[in-house]
């Protein structure tokens, strides 16, 4: 069974039917998380998987000469179904945090187990170290992330009012819960959107197409999480850059570090916005 591995994904021809199947599955994300029309999300998933099955069954004369599109897209579809089973509105009570942990954890664990032990392949991997030691460019980008986050995020959250999409954090306990929640979701983002969605798409699509589709899923999730108003102007480039960085570094550890640095600024901005005067002097807004 031939598969599209990472070394050849960037040079693969773009098969319109493969793109159609993948696009339908990934468009279920905005249906679930932006429009919040669940029947439409499920309909898009089913349509995408049906097209994928037809692609897999094409004869030798077809454009696709590999099998497994439906199998790999099913991993994304299962993850999306699991995530869409709860509201993604940020809440910090005990049950909400447990529910978030179970659902988001399941959205990564179930596709991984299915791929590894049922499909008997390694579509989903978590290459922590990847390409080796970080160079000056990687360290420089980490510093740039902090500067960009410090410059842009306070203006975005406060001027747009989107900080109100997160609960008020005005006690040490709530601030600690917010810190844990923001960090945990940031790590999960890379496990699901990069190591699951992006990895599965790259087995059948060129890197650019796969990255655009994973960004569609990524940004849709962030929209329901609270990054609304003009947030997509920030989250779309961020999602695309995370995909590019992963392709360059092959390191889950690096993209997680980038994300956590960005989220550290998000955490401080949310505390600052909900507690005027507490962090005076740190931000310009």
pTM of the model: 0.91
Give me the residue spans of the domains in the chain: 6-274
Q: Which of 272, 259, 10 is nearest to 146 (CA)?
A: 259
| Residue 252 contacts residue 246 (beta carbons within 8 Å) | yes
- Reading the chain (285 residues) residue by residue, the pLDDT tens digits are 334 444 456 667 889 999 999 999 999 999 999 999 999 999 999 999 999 999 998 855 444 445 799 999 999 999 999 999 999 999 999 999 999 999 999 999 999 999 999 999 888 999 987 767 888 999 999 999 999 999 999 999 999 999 999 999 999 999 999 999 999 999 999 999 999 999 999 999 999 999 999 999 999 999 999 999 999 999 999 999 999 999 999 999 999 999 999 999 999 999 999 998 888 788 888
The whole-angstrom separation of Cα 153 and Cα 141 is 17
């Amino acid at each position: 069974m031939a598969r599209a591995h990472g070394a050849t994904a960037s040079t693969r021809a773009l098969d319109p039917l493969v793109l159609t199947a993948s696009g339908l599955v990934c468009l279920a994300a905005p249906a679930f998380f932006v429009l919040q029309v669940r029947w439409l999300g499920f309909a898009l998933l089913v349509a995408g998987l049906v097209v994928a099955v037809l692609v897999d069954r094409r004869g030798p004369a077809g454009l696709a000469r590999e099998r497994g599109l439906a199998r790999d897209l099913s991993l994304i579809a299962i993850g999306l179904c699991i995530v869409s089973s709860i509201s993604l509105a940020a809440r910090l009570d005990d049950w909400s945090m447990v529910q978030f942990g179970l659902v988001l954890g399941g959205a990564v664990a179930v596709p991984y187990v299915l791929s590894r032990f049922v499909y008997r392949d390694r579509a989903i991997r978590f290459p922590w170290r990847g390409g080796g030691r970080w160079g000056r460019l990687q360290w420089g980008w980490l510093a740039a992330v902090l500067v960009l986050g410090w410059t842009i995020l306070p203006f975005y959250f406060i001027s747009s009012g989107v900080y109100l999409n997160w609960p008020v954090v005005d006690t040490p306990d709530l601030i600690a819960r917010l810190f844990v929640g923001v960090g945990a979701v940031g790590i999960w983002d890379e496990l699901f959107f990069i190591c699951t969605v992006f990895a599965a798409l790259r087995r059948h699509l060129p890197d650019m197409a796969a990255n655009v589709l994973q960004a569609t899923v990524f940004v849709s999730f962030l929209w329901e999480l609270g990054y609304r108003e003009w947030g997509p102007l920030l989250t779309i480039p961020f999602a695309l850059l995370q995909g590019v960085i992963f392709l360059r570094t092959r390191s889950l550890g690096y993209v997680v570090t980038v994300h956590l640095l960005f989220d550290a600024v998000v955490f401080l901005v949310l505390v600052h916005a909900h507690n005027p005067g507490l962090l005076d002097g740190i931000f310009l807004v």
